[in-house]
A and B are shown apart, each in its own frame.
Chain A
Amino acid sequence: MPEKIMEINPEKSTLTDRGAENTSTANLHGSDRRVEGISRSVRQVTEKSPWDRTGKLAYALKHLRLFYRFAVISWKRSTEYKFNFFLNNIQQIVTLFIYIYFWRIILNHIPQLQEWDFPTLTILTGFVFFNQSLMVVFWAMWTINRRIIKGDLDVFLVRPVSVLFAIIGQNLLIYRLFEASLGLAMIGVVLIRYHISVTLFKMVLALLIVFLGTYLIMMVTIFLQSLSFWLGRTNAFTELLQAGFLINRYPITIFPKLVIAFFTVFLPVIFIATYPTLVLVEFTVIRGLEVLGGELLIAGLWTYLVYQIWRRGIRRYENVGG
């Protein structure tokens, strides 16, 4: 077709195939606005991948493959620094035992802390450890505010990749998954050592709650970090969030109701260790499912909030350039 490049005029909206496809492209990379079509010159379609890259599914699949690539990179990087690799593991194990020993000392002075005895407190610590290691895998989420302020998003914005995904993926610490599994191993040891019998279903339920809980905390973190799009330095929020994690290693149910509510909805750290432990050893399956249901609701809420703030944030970044 002979086609002349037309005057660029967004009003003259003749939606081309490209424009139409693009509107359906999945989001988070921030260019989800309605695209006014622009006719363009016909040109050779160069490199076309076997995947149709415009659909939501293709977008997700591509990022899944990228995640694998990032994981490989992360793994190679960790083996570059074997010494640190080793030291980090040692440090984590030391920390784990210190926290467990903390409870040992306290239980030297009291028989048990409300319904929490030594085995359950150890399981709690195991979950805390599991979650912390998992969060470290995605530690780059703590650098989002800095990157926004420094205008570092450009490097990702000029590539066909989700910015948020790339920031976190690029700095993955995949080997920390080993430590995370250590936390689970710890829980296993306690279950066997103290002859606590749990059903497989409860185990799966508890794990689901922890994973979703970790996701929730990531969402809250990203949300607070994204405030930097408007506020510049947001260290205050980061510090507050970190402060929230202080409560993490204690059974949150021993605190007053108001505190529990706060840590269930606003800073949902209760799903990281307290509920998984209770679901595993105390609660009935029904109660466990209720917890999971509630968590899903809260996760949905936070996902929506992150989606909105990130979309608006990127739009603002496009206008002011970080």
Chain B
Amino acid sequence: MGVKVDTIIKVHQLVKDFKVPKKDVNPSLAKKIWSIFYREWETKRVLKHISFEVKKGEFIGYVGPNGAGKSTTIKILTGVLTPTEGEVQVVGFVPYKQRYEYTYHIGVVFGNRSLLEFDIPVIDSFRLYRDIYELNPKTFQERLDLFSEILKIDQFLHIPVRKLSLGERMRCEIAASLLHKPEVVFLDEPTIGLDVLAKEEIRNFLTRINQEDKTTIMLTTHDMNDIEALCERILIIDEGRIIYDGPLTEIKRKYVQWKRIEFEYHGIKNPVLLREILKKTRVLEQRQKFVSLEVNTLEQDVPEIIGGLLNSLDIVDLNVQEPRLESVIKEIYRRGMNGAGEGQAEQVGP
């Protein structure tokens, strides 16, 4: 008779404080020596009451500038760190309290720290993880076959890791973290330093794992292309606060007020209508029969403008562009500094 409850990550009013040594900009020698024995500490609040929930099967992007609290959040979610205040629950566990049992259910990839043994063939590392996660041989083989198929790693399973390219290594790395079919996967910069093709392969793989296994994936990255390609929902953290939590499409709707329309035409059909339409836009560029316009999406309806253009001109080619996510996010970071005081994601926005 079950109502299917599918919240898999639950974070409520999470706070994390770190003690950091007080930095003296230009200490005297006496102070330097004294500091060997005694150091003054101050408390730095890295996470300031963050809350969010993630549903099973979601693919979530977690972004923010360096030092915003991203990795601290991930460390708390993976059980490495204990929060100062607040509550966390992932796959039904409190990570920092039940770590040993909990870690059977999650997969973690740190982009900058390798899991794989450098000098030995990949397959041996896989076998190690099989034993760590106590997989039975049959499941292990099935997973291996699956990964071989999607990631094409079978060709280098027997090659020592150090002889692989970065992209191949990362593919193996991700496969190793997913061998035990974790319910939640945390990925920290998985595509860092990879070429376009390798990134594409990894993205495809993640999408498939997400869809087929219903694996919940939380991805932190600086590469907005990753986010655009993969995530439906995005969390933006800045200075320890979640400043945006919502669908990727929404973020653009909220923050992007301009769209750009570019078109090429043969001739003018209706000059009066055209003048009307052009009044509603800002012409950025016009050379020969090519025009580039900017439309304020808050005031104007883009389809209407396009309709008008089609009616008044012989359009050869037309396309509508949105600003890239990257610049949107940049804009949000910039605004986030003064915009988000409430720690309530929903209230942020224009």
Given the known inter-chain contacts A76-B121, A321-B18, please indicate yes or no for A158 contacting B98, CB distance below 8 A. Answer: no
Are B117 and A170 closer than 8 Å at their CB atoms? Answer: yes
Are B101 and A76 closer than 8 Å at their CB atoms? Answer: no
Which one of B80-88, B196-204, B225-233, B285-293 contacts A?
Answer: B80-88
Extra 10 A-B pairs, beta carbons < 8 Å, given A80-B119, A161-B132: A2-B1, A8-B89, A22-B100, A35-B97, A41-B92, A49-B134, A49-B136, A50-B136, A72-B124, A159-B103
Are A158 and B3 closer than 8 Å at their CB atoms? Answer: no
Are A66 and B12 closer than 8 Å at their CB atoms? Answer: no
**CB contact list, A86-112 vs B, under 8 A:** none
Cα A19 to Cα B79 with chains together (Å): 16
Nearest Cβ distance between residue B179 and chain A, in whole angstroms?
A: 10
Are B124 and A160 closer than 8 Å at their CB atoms? Answer: no
The 6 closest A-B pairs by CB, nearest first: A40-B92, A49-B134, A8-B87, A31-B99, A158-B108, A318-B82
Is A197 interfacial (CB 8 A cutoff)?
no
* Interface flags, A61-77, vs B, CB<8A=1, else 0: 01001100110110011
Measured between beta carbons, the chain A residues less than 8 angstroms from B181 are 46-47
A31, A66, A76: the one contacting B120 at CB < 8 Å is A76
Measured between beta carbons, the chain A residues less than 8 angstroms from B101 are 18, 21-22, 25, 54, 160
Measured between beta carbons, the chain A residues less than 8 angstroms from B79 are 31, 157-158
Measured between beta carbons, the chain B residues less than 8 angstroms from A170 are 117
Are A320 and B115 closer than 8 Å at their CB atoms? Answer: no
Measured between beta carbons, the chain A residues less than 8 angstroms from B139 are 47
Are A10 and B94 closer than 8 Å at their CB atoms? Answer: yes
Are A40 and B89 closer than 8 Å at their CB atoms? Answer: yes
Is A82 interfacial (CB 8 A cutoff)?
no
Cα A65 to Cα B88 with chains together (Å): 33
Nearest Cβ distance between residue A151 and chain B, in whole angstroms?
A: 9
Measured between beta carbons, the chain B residues less than 8 angstroms from A31 are 79, 96-100
Q: Mark B residues whose CB is within 8 Å of A.
A: 1-3, 5-7, 10, 12, 18-19, 72, 75, 78-82, 87-89, 91-94, 96-101, 103-106, 108, 110, 113, 115, 117, 119-121, 124-125, 127-128, 131-136, 139, 160, 180-181, 183, 186
B2, B19, B103, B186: the one contacting A42 at CB < 8 Å is B2
* Interface flags, A1-16, vs B, CB<8A=1, else 0: 1111100111000000
Cα A252 to Cα B80 with chains together (Å): 44
Measured between beta carbons, the chain B residues less than 8 angstroms from A161 are 132
Most B-side CB within 10 Å, residue of A9, A10, A319: A319
Is A155 interfacial (CB 8 A cutoff)?
yes
* Interface flags, A292-307, vs B, CB<8A=1, else 0: 0000000000000000
Are B120 and A80 closer than 8 Å at their CB atoms? Answer: yes
Q: Mark A residues whose CB is within 8 Å of B.
A: 1-5, 8-10, 18-19, 21-22, 25, 29-31, 33, 35-36, 38, 40-43, 46-47, 49-51, 53-54, 62, 65-66, 69-70, 72-73, 76-77, 80-81, 152-155, 157-161, 170, 315, 318-321
Cα A159 to Cα B113 with chains together (Å): 14
A2, A19, A47: the one contacting B98 at CB < 8 Å is A19
Are A154 and B92 closer than 8 Å at their CB atoms? Answer: no
A21, A30, A40, A66: the one contacting B93 at CB < 8 Å is A40
Q: List the A residue with the shortest CB-CB distance to B3.
A: A2
Nearest Cβ distance between residue B261 and chain A, in whole angstroms?
A: 47
Given the known inter-chain contacts A46-B181, A321-B72, please indicate yes or no for A77 contacting B117, CB distance below 8 A. Answer: yes
Cα A41 to Cα B81 with chains together (Å): 24
Are A159 and B132 closer than 8 Å at their CB atoms? Answer: yes
Q: List the A residue with the shortest CB-CB distance to B92.
A: A40
Are A51 and B1 closer than 8 Å at their CB atoms? Answer: no
Are B97 and A77 closer than 8 Å at their CB atoms? Answer: no
Measured between beta carbons, the chain A residues less than 8 angstroms from B120 are 73, 76-77, 80
B10, B103, B105: the one contacting A5 at CB < 8 Å is B10
Specify the main secondary structure of chain A where it touches its partner: loop
Measured between beta carbons, the chain B residues less than 8 angstroms from A62 are 131, 134
Given the known inter-chain contacts A36-B97, A69-B131, A73-B120, please indicate yes or no for A4 contacting B89, CB distance below 8 A. Answer: no
Are B104 and A154 closer than 8 Å at their CB atoms? Answer: no
A38, A46, A152, A320: the one contacting B89 at CB < 8 Å is A38
Are B136 and A8 closer than 8 Å at their CB atoms? Answer: no
Q: List the B residue with the shortest CB-CB distance to A25.
A: B100
Nearest Cβ distance between residue A169 and chain B, in whole angstroms?
A: 9
Measured between beta carbons, the chain B residues less than 8 angstroms from A36 are 94, 97
A70, A157, A320: the one contacting B19 at CB < 8 Å is A320
Cα A77 to Cα B161 with chains together (Å): 11
Measured between beta carbons, the chain B residues less than 8 angstroms from A38 are 89, 92-94
Measured between beta carbons, the chain B residues less than 8 angstroms from A72 are 124, 127
Are A321 and B81 closer than 8 Å at their CB atoms? Answer: yes
Given the known inter-chain contacts A66-B131, A76-B120, A321-B75, please indicate yes or no for A158 contacting B103, CB distance below 8 A. Answer: yes
A-B contact pairs, 21 of them (CB 8 A): A1-B2, A8-B88, A25-B100, A31-B96, A40-B92, A41-B7, A41-B92, A49-B136, A62-B134, A66-B132, A73-B117, A73-B128, A77-B117, A152-B113, A154-B110, A157-B80, A157-B99, A158-B186, A159-B108, A160-B133, A321-B81
Cα A157 to Cα B102 with chains together (Å): 11
Given the known inter-chain contacts A2-B2, A154-B75, A155-B115, please indicate yes or no for A8 contacting B100, CB distance below 8 A. Answer: no
Measured between beta carbons, the chain B residues less than 8 angstroms from A50 are 136
Cα A35 to Cα B120 with chains together (Å): 38
Nearest Cβ distance between residue B345 and chain A, in whole angstroms?
A: 19
Are A3 and B94 closer than 8 Å at their CB atoms? Answer: no
Nearest Cβ distance between residue B86 and chain A, in whole angstroms?
A: 9
Given the known inter-chain contacts A8-B87, A38-B89, A66-B132, please indicate yes or no for A3 contacting B98, CB distance below 8 A. Answer: no
Measured between beta carbons, the chain A residues less than 8 angstroms from B78 are 154, 157-158
Nearest Cβ distance between residue B41 and chain A, in whole angstroms?
A: 10
